[in-house]
Structure 1
Amino acid sequence: MSLDRRSVLKGLAGSAAALGASMALPSMAKAAITNYDQLKEDLRELKLKGRINHSVCKWCYDKIPLEDLCKAAKEIGLTSIELLGPAEWPTLKKYDLYCAMPWGAHKKLDRGFNDPTYHDELFQLYEAVIPQVAAAGFNQLICFSGNRRGMSDEQGLENCAKGLQRLMPLAEKHKVTLTMELLNSKVNHKDYQCDHTAWGVELAKKIGSDRFKLLYDIYHMQIMEGDVIATIKKFHPYISHYHTAGVPGRNEIDDSQELNYPAIMKAIVDTGYKGYVGQEFIPKHTEPLVSLRESVKICDV
Structure 2
Amino acid sequence: MPRFAANLSMMYTEHAFPDRFAAAAHDGFEAVEYLFPYEYTPEELKARLDAAGLTQVLFNTQPGDWANGERGIASLPGREDEFRRSIDQALAYARVLGNRKLHVMAGIVASPELRAAQRETYLKNLAFAAQAAQAEGVTILIEPINPRDMPGYLLNRQDDAHAICKEIGAPNLQVQFDCYHCQIVEGDLSVKLERDMSGIGHIQIAGVPGRNEPDRGELNYPWLFERIDALGYTGWIGCEYRPRTTASAGLGWIRPYMPAR
TM range (shorter): 0.7 to 0.9
Pair 1:171 & 2:121 matched: no
- Partner in structure 2 of residue 35 of structure 1: none
In structure 2, the CA distance between the partners of 1:133 and 1:151, relative to structure 1 (3 Å rule), is farther
Aligned residues: 247
Secondary structure (helix, strand or coil) at the match of 1:56 reads strand
- Partner in structure 2 of residue 219 of structure 1: 180
Contact kept, 8 Å, 2:206 with 2:214, in 1: the verdict is yes
Pair 1:282 & 2:242 matched: yes
Contact kept, 8 Å, 2:161 with 2:175, in 1: the verdict is yes
% identity of equivalent residues: 24
Query: How far did residue 220 of structure 1 move?
Result: 0.9
For structure 2, list consecutive stretches of 5 or more residues without a partner in the other structure: none
Code of the aligned partner of 1:295 = W
Pair 1:243 & 2:204 matched: yes
Query: How far did residue 281 of structure 1 move?
Result: 1.2
Query: How far did residue 73 of structure 1 move?
Result: 2.4
Contact kept, 8 Å, 1:261 with 1:298, in 2: the verdict is no
Answer with 1 or 2: which has the greater Rg.
Answer: 1
CA distance in 2, matches of 1:263, 1:167: 35
Secondary structure (helix, strand or coil) at the match of 2:58 reads coil
Give RMSD over aligned pairs: 2.2
Bigger drift between 148-157 and 117-126 goes to 148-157
Pair 1:272 & 2:222 matched: no
- Partner in structure 2 of residue 90 of structure 1: 47
In structure 2, the CA distance between the partners of 1:68 and 1:168, relative to structure 1 (3 Å rule), is closer
Code of the aligned partner of 1:289 = S
Secondary structure (helix, strand or coil) at the match of 2:228 reads helix
Structure 1 segments, 4+ long, off by >6 Å, are none
Alignment of 1:41-56 (within 5 A): 51-56=1-6
Secondary structure (helix, strand or coil) at the match of 2:237 reads strand
Secondary structure (helix, strand or coil) at the match of 1:267 reads helix
Contact kept, 8 Å, 2:74 with 2:80, in 1: the verdict is yes
Contact kept, 8 Å, 2:179 with 2:206, in 1: the verdict is yes
Q: For 1:51-108, what per-residue CA distance to the aligned partner results, in whole angstroms no more than 9, with x for missing partners?
A: 2221011121322234543333223321112115135333112212111112353334
In structure 2, the CA distance between the partners of 1:68 and 1:232, relative to structure 1 (3 Å rule), is same
- Partner in structure 2 of residue 258 of structure 1: 218
CA distance in 2, matches of 1:104, 1:155: 22
For structure 1, list consecutive stretches of 5 or more residues without a partner in the other structure: 1-50
